[in-house]
Amino acid sequence: MATCSASVTTSFPLCRDDFCHHKRKLCWMLKMQWVPTSVLGSPGDNVNLMCNYDTKTSETNLHVDWIQIKWYQNVSATANITETEANMEGRIRYNKKVLEIKNAQKNDSALYRCRVTVGDKKYKSCGTYLRIQEAEPYAFFNLGETTKNRMITVEGVVLLLCTIIPGTFLLYKKRWENLTLLTTSQIGDNIYEGLNLEECSTYEDITRGLQATYEDVGSLRGTDIQLEKP
């Protein structure tokens, strides 16, 4: 049977074939090459899985079939590809090199290995794990977590400034109005500042004299006329 090991020149697993010993020389009939370890698809996609091998014999002597391996609660279940649900639904088509799964569904997720038979020898690929899952929603702004945190911080600072600045402006405006009102009141109280009582009485006397001068003489009787003493 074929065994898998890591290649020195590539990171892909290689499957080495069985060797035969003939006339003290190593010879081989078929060698399994690397295949992708996993393939990711979305529901409804058409998926192609490769069976990669190198042979020195005619491919007419080769027989290739595929096996599907699934895990249920840590227990593996192996089935021939012809026995799978996808094949019964007519979504499976394969040849000696490619396994095609049409309109892939989530229950098609499994490990797929090709098995090559040459005469009485059988070789297996290391297999490709097919993972079918829903596509992630498209993000219009594909931003990292750090960038998102910075944007949230900036938004918080802007909101804080929008709250503090108008409030501070209103407080200063109210204070200015109060100071203006207080100054106007003080000016009104100080209009008569500096006047003394004697000047006020003289002003009243002059006013009275002027009022007497402009009285209607014809409407007065003789007894009503009173002369003020100098």
User: Is the Cβ–Cβ distance between 41 and 47 less than 8 Å?
Assistant: yes
Burial of 4 (0-12, 13-18, 19+ CB in 10 A): middle
pLDDT range class, residue 11, cuts 50, 70, 90 = very low
Per-residue model confidence as pLDDT tens digits over 134-190: 877 766 667 778 888 888 999 999 998 888 888 888 888 888 888 887 777 666 555
Sign for the CA dihedral angle at 153, 156, 160, 162 comes to positive
pLDDT range class, residue 17, cuts 50, 70, 90 = very low
Strand blocks (E) in 97-217: 98-101, 110-118, 121-124, 128-132
What is the enclosing helix (H) or strand (E) of 173? Answer: helix 145-189
Global pTM reads 0.50
Tell me the two tokens of residue 199: 């000047």
**Percent of the chain whose predicted confidence (pLDDT) is above 90:** 17
Predicted pLDDT of residue 181: 79
Range of 12-16, 123-127, 207-211, 218-222 with top mean pLDDT? 123-127
pLDDT at 192 over 60: no
